[in-house]
């Protein structure tokens, strides 16, 4: 169930809202005159959301490249090269 608070709570209870967002890792939906206006979330939650969006964007680009005929590399070969690079540098 989403947490919904009026915009006046940002002024009157900002610390409480901040603590809720950090502890629960959930956003708080802020209303203005009874209508949704904004969402408040912790920086950690925001960064996680942005990382997921970035990952999904890269996956969509890769799927599009494959659909357009691009050839990928064999995973086992790439993993072998990476392992050799790491072990060669240690």
Domains, the chain, ranges and CATH?
A: 3-41 (3.40.1620.10), 45-89 (no CATH)
Write down the pLDDT at residue 89: 61
- Measure the CA–CA gap between 87 and 51, rounded to whole angstroms: 29
> pLDDT for 39-81, tens place per residue?
999 999 999 999 999 999 999 999 999 999 998 888 999 999 9
Say whether pTM exceeds 0.75: no
Contacts of 83 (CB under 8 A, 6+ apart): none
Closest CA to 26 of 48, 54, 10: 48
Write down the pLDDT at residue 85: 87
34: left (phi over 0), alpha (psi -120 to 50) or beta: left
Write down the pLDDT at residue 61: 95
């Amino acid at each position: 169930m989403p947490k919904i608070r009026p915009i006046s709570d940002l002024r009157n209870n900002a610390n409480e809202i901040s603590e809720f967002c950090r502890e629960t890792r959930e956003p708080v939906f802020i209303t203005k005159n009874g209508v949704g206006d904004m969402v408040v979330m912790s920086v950690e939650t925001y960064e996680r959301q942005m990382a997921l969006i970035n990952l999904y964007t890269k996956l969509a680009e890769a799927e599009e490249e494959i659909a357009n005929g691009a050839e990928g590399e064999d995973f086992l070969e790439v993993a072998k090269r990476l392992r050799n690079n790491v072990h060669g540098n240690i």
